[in-house]
C-alpha cells in the first residue's frame, strides 16, 4: 500500500504544464468617478479599449459566439469600472427572480472572474442579469470542482443595467477594497462567461473546453493596468446585530422570550490579509438545511452557509477529501451532542480568524473559536483552533500543512480523560495542471488524543485525467481505526478504499444530442482490523445523454456487496428487527433520471429506481416540479418516496419526504421565502418562512418564523419567531 501511495505521489509532481495566452485587456487609468446607472454614453467610456470575440462554450466549444459581448474596463485610485454591452436576438430574457446571489444556470446573466494574485487557485466573481440583479462569489481550488464555488460571500459594490432593443448594457463599480491584490501589480487574470437563453448559447471570453467547468481558473486571459496598483487602504467594518426571539417547546411546555446582541468586525491587513472577529454570533437568519432521506449506515455532510466561516474557507476546509475524511468541517463548531446523544445547538462565545495571502506564493489561515458550556446537557466549553499554511508550487498546484486542536480547559465530571482534547496535523499536496487535464491530491494526516498511540493515521492519494473524449482516475484512502478528528467529517474509519473509474464521452454533430457519456466506477473497501476483509464492493455504471435543448437523461446500475459488521435497521422504524450483522448481502438496483429544459416556465425532473436492497427490495420515486412566474415568484416541490419491502421478521416501510417551496421577490431589496418539509421518517413537519429586507448595502432586517409538528398526530412540537436587525458600518 505504501509503495502505491509514493508511486502516485511522484506521478502527481511530474506532470507537464502549459497554456497559450491569446487575449489581453488594457485597463486605462482615469481621474474622475463614473456615475453607475447602466448608461454607457458618458464620454469617459470612449477612451476605454473594447474587448470581445467571446467563444461559444455550449452547444459547441469551437466557434465564435453567435451573440457577442463587448467589455470595457477603466479604473481610478479606488475603483475598477466595467462597461459591458450584451447583444441578443430579442428581449425575451429568462429572469426567474430578483433576489441577489442567484445561481447562473438556466437564466440570462453574465459573470466576471478576477484572479487578482495570478495564482490560478482563488478568484473573485461578480455578476448580474438584464434587470441588474447582482451576485458575487468566491472561487477556490482552481475552480476545478463545484465545491469550490460559494455564493455565501457578501461584499459592497455597484451594478446597474439598461435594456435596449436586442441588447442590454451594464455598468459596474467594484471598490478595490472589496478584493485582495498584490501591491504594485500591473496584471490580473480575467475571464467572463455569459448565458443566453434565447439563443440557447453559453459563451466565454477565454476559450474553455466543454468538458471543463465554466469557472475553471486554468482558462483565463490577462488584464493589464496602465499604472501599478497602489496599496489598498485598510477599512474597518463593524457589523452589529440585535435579535429578538420568542419560542415555545411544546414537548416540555416551555416558553421563552429573549434578545441577543453581538456582531462581527472585519479589518483588512495590507493588500492580502483579512482579520475577522465575532462576538456572540447569531445564525438564526441562515437558510435551513434541506432534509435528506439517508438509508445508509453513515453520516452525511451538508454545506456551510454561515458568513463568518465562508471567506478563505478553502484554507481550512479543503484538507483530506470531501467524500469521507475531512479533518476540519466548520459545521461542527456550534453543534454538540447532549447526554441523550442528540445533536443540539452549542452557543459560540466568540472567535477570531486571520486569513489570506502573505505573498505571491504563500497563504496563511488561523481560526480560533470558543464555545460555551451547557451543564444541563453535559456539554463542555471548548476552544477550537485551526492553523494552516499553504505554498504554491508549479503553475497551479500547492502544498499545505495544518494543525487542529479541540481542547477542554476546565475540568468537568462528565468529561472523561480521553475526551479532554483532540489534535490533528498533516500535509496535503494538491495537483492542478495548467490546462486542468490532470488534477490530484496526496495527503498524510495524524491524530492525537489521550491514551491512543496506534492506528491513528489517515492517508490518501487521488489522480484524475480529464479530456473532452476520455476521462479516468484512481483514488485510494486509508483511515485508521483510532484516527479521530472531533472538528472534522469522518464517514467511516478502519478502512482501506480504492475507487478507479473510466469514462468515454461522445459528441455527436448536427443532432439533437449534445453528448453521450458512459462511466464505469467500482468502489472497494477492506477492514484492516478484520484481517483486511473485503466488507463493501459497489460496481457503479452510468450512461448519460445531454440534449441540445438542455434537457438530460441518464440510466444507472449499482451492483453491491455489503458485509454488515453489526446489526443495521435501515427504516428507522420503532421496534423493528434489525438486519443481523456478520453476514454478507449481494444486491443490485437500477435508477433512471430525466431532467427537462429548465429554461421553460414549467420544468421538472423525474427519477424512478427499483431493485434489491440487502435481503429485500426497494422502489423509489423522486424528483422535482418548478413553476416560474418571472421575475417575482418561483414555486417548487421536491419529492421522494421510498418503498422498502423486507422478508419477515424484518419491517416494511413507506418513507415520504415532501418539500414545497415558494419564493417571492417583491423587488431587488425585499424577499420572502417559505419552505415546508414533511418527513414521516423523522416524524416532523417543518415550516420555515423568512422575510428579508436589504435596506442598505449588506444591511438587513430579517423576520424568521419556524413551526414544527409531529407527523403522527400533527401535534405542535416547536415554534419560534425571530426579528433580527443587522447593519454594516464602514469606519
- For the stretch 624-634, pLDDT in tens is 999 999 999 99
Give the N- to C-terminal CA distance of the chain in Å, as an integer: 56
- For the stretch 509-556, pLDDT in tens is 989 999 999 999 999 999 999 999 999 999 999 999 999 999 999 999
**CA gap 100, 98 in Å, rounded:** 7
- φ/ψ of residue 45, rounded to 5: -70, -20
Beta-bridge partner residues of 538: 523, 560
pLDDT score of 234: 66
- For the stretch 403-417, pLDDT in tens is 999 999 889 999 999
Q: Sort strands 24-29 and 221-225 into parallel, antiparallel or unpaired.
A: parallel
**Residue 322 neighbours by CB under 8 Å, 6+ apart:** 147, 301
* Of residues 405, 420, 494, the one with CA closest to residue 455: 494
- Give yes or no for a cis peptide into 59 (omega within 30° of 0): yes
**Residue 87 neighbours by CB under 8 Å, 6+ apart:** 67, 68, 69, 70, 166, 167
Q: In the numeric block, which cell numbers belong to residue 182?
A: 498584490
pLDDT score of 2: 52
Exposure of 477 in the CB half-sphere (CA atoms within 13 A): 25
Beta-bridge partner residues of 398: 392, 430
Q: How far is CA 539 from the centre of its chain?
A: 27
Q: Is the dihedral of CA 335, 405, 353, 357 positive or negative?
A: negative
**Residue 289 neighbours by CB under 8 Å, 6+ apart:** 302
pTM of the model: 0.93
pLDDT score of 299: 85
Beta-bridge partner residues of 590: 557, 610
Which helix or strand (DSSP H or E) is residue 3 part of?
helix 2-12
pLDDT score of 19: 42
In contact, 445 and 458? CB cutoff 8 Å: yes
Q: Which residues of the chain have pLDDT under 70?
A: 1-22, 234
Beta-bridge partner residues of 404: 386, 424
Beta-bridge partner residues of 470: 504
Q: How far is CA 448 from the centre of its chain?
A: 29
Q: In the numeric block, which cell numbers belong to residue 314?
A: 478553502
Q: Is 126 exposed, middle or buried (0-12, 13-18, 19+ CB in 10 A)?
A: buried
Question: Which domains, ranges and CATH numbers included, belong to the chain?
Answer: 2-225 (2.60.40.1190)
- φ/ψ of residue 548, rounded to 5: -65, -25
pLDDT score of 29: 98
In contact, 492 and 297? CB cutoff 8 Å: no
pLDDT score of 17: 40
Amino acid at each position: 500500500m505504501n509503495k502505491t501511495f509514493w508511486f502516485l505521489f511522484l506521478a502527481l509532481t511530474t506532470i507537464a504544464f502549459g497554456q497559450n495566452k491569446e487575449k489581453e485587456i488594457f485597463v486605462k487609468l482615469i481621474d474622475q468617478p463614473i456615475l453607475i446607472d447602466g448608461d454607457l454614453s458618458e464620454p469617459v467610456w470612449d477612451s476605454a479599449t473594447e474587448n470581445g470575440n467571446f467563444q461559444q462554450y455550449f452547444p459547441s466549444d469551437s466557434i465564435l459566439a453567435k451573440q457577442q459581448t463587448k467589455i470595457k474596463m477603466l479604473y481610478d485610485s479606488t475603483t475598477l469600472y466595467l462597461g459591458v454591452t450584451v447583444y441578443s436576438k430579442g428581449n425575451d430574457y429568462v429572469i426567474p427572480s430578483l433576489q441577489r446571489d442567484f445561481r447562473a444556470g438556466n437564466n440570462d446573466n453574465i459573470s466576471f472572474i478576477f484572479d487578482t494574485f495570478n495564482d490560478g487557485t482563488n478568484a473573485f466573481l461578480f455578476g448580474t442579469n438584464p434587470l441588474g440583479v447582482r451576485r458575487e462569489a468566491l472561487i477556490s481550488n482552481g475552480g476545478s470542482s463545484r465545491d469550490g464555488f460559494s455564493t455565501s460571500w457578501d461584499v459592497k459594490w455597484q451594478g446597474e443595467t439598461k435594456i435596449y432593443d436586442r441588447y442590454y448594457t451594464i455598468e459596474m463599480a467594484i471598490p478595490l477594497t472589496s478584493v485582495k491584490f498584490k501591491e504594485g501589480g500591473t496584471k490580473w487574470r480575467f475571464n467572463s462567461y455569459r448565458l443566453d437563453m434565447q439563443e440557447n448559447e453559453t459563451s466565454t471570453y477565454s476559450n474553455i473546453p466543454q468538458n471543463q467547468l465554466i469557472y475553471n481558473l486554468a482558462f483565463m486571459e490577462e488584464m493589464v493596468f496602465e499604472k501599478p496598483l497602489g496599496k489598498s487602504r485598510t477599512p474597518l467594518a463593524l457589523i452589529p446585530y440585535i435579535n429578538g426571539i420568542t419560542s415555545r417547546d411544546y414537548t416540555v411546555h416551555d416558553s421563552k422570550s429573549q434578545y441577543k446582541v453581538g456582531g462581527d468586525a472585519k479589518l483588512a491587513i495590507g493588500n492580502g490579509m483579512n482579520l475577522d472577529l465575532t462576538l456572540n454570533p447569531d445564525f438564526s437568519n441562515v437558510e435551513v438545511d434541506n432534509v435528506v432521506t439517508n438509508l445508509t449506515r453513515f453520516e452525511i455532510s451538508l454545506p456551510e452557509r454561515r458568513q463568518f466561516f465562508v471567506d478563505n474557507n478553502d484554507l481550512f476546509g479543503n484538507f483530506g477529501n470531501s467524500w469521507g475524511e475531512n479533518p476540519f468541517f466548520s459545521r461542527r463548531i456550534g453543534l454538540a451532542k447532549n447526554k441523550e446523544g442528540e445533536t443540539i445547538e452549542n452557543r459560540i462565545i466568540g472567535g477570531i480568524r486571520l486569513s489570506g495571502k502573505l505573498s505571491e506564493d504563500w497563504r496563511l489561515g488561523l481560526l480560533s473559536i470558543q464555545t460555551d458550556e451547557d451543564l444541563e446537557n453535559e456539554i463542555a466549553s471548548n476552544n477550537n483552533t485551526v492553523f494552516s499554511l499553504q505554498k504554491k508550487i508549479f503553475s497551479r498546484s500547492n502544498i499545505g500543512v495544518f494543525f487542529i486542536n479541540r481542547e477542554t480547559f476546565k475540568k468537568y465530571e462528565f468529561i472523561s480523560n480521553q475526551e479532554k482534547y483532540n489534535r490533528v496535523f498533516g500535509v496535503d499536496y494538491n495537483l492542478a495542471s495548467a490546462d486542468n487535464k490532470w488534477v490530484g491530491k496526496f495527503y498524510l494526516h495524524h491524530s492525537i488524543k489521550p491514551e491512543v498511540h496506534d492506528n491513528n493515521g489517515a492517508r490518501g492519494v487521488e489522480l484524475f485525467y480529464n479530456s473532452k473524449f476520455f476521462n479516468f482516475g484512481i483514488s485510494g484512502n486509508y483511515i485508521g481505526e483510532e484516527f479521530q478528528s472531533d472538528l472534522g467529517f469522518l464517514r467511516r474509519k478502519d478502512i482501506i478504499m480504492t475507487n478507479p473509474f473510466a469514462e468515454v464521452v461522445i459528441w455527436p454533430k448536427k443532432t439533437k444530442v449534445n453528448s453521450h457519456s458512459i462511466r464505469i466506477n467500482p468502489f472497494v473497501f477492506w477492514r484492516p482490523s478484520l484481517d483486511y476483509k473485503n466488507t463493501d464492493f459497489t460496481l457503479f455504471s452510468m450512461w448519460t445523454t445531454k440534449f441540445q435543448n438542455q434537457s438530460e437523461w441518464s440510466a444507472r446500475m449499482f451492483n453491491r456487496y455489503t458485509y454488515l459488521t453489526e446489526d443495521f435497521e435501515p427504516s428507522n422504524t420503532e421496534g423493528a428487527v434489525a438486519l443481523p450483522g456478520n453476514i454478507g448481502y449481494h444486491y443490485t438496483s437500477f435508477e433512471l433520471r430525466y431532467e427537462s429544459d429548465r429554461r421553460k416556465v414549467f420544468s421538472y425532473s423525474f427519477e424512478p429506481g427499483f431493485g434489491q436492497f440487502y435481503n429485500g427490495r426497494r422502489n423509489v420515486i423522486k424528483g422535482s416540479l418548478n413553476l416560474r412566474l418571472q421575475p417575482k415568484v418561483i414555486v417548487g416541490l421536491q419529492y421522494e418516496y421510498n418503498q422498502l419491502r423486507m422478508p419477515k421478521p424484518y419491517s416494511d416501510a413507506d418513507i415520504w419526504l415532501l418539500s414545497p417551496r415558494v419564493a417571492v421577490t417583491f423587488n431587488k431589496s425585499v424577499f420572502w421565502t417559505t419552505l415546508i418539509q414533511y418527513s414521516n421518517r423523522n416524524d416532523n413537519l417543518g415550516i420555515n418562512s423568512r422575510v428579508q429586507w436589504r435596506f442598505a448595502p449588506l444591511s438587513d432586517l430579517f423576520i424568521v418564523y419556524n413551526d414544527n409538528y409531529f407527523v403522527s398526530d400533527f401535534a405542535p412540537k416547536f415554534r419560534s419567531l425571530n426579528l433580527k436587525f443587522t447593519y454594516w458600518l464602514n469606519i
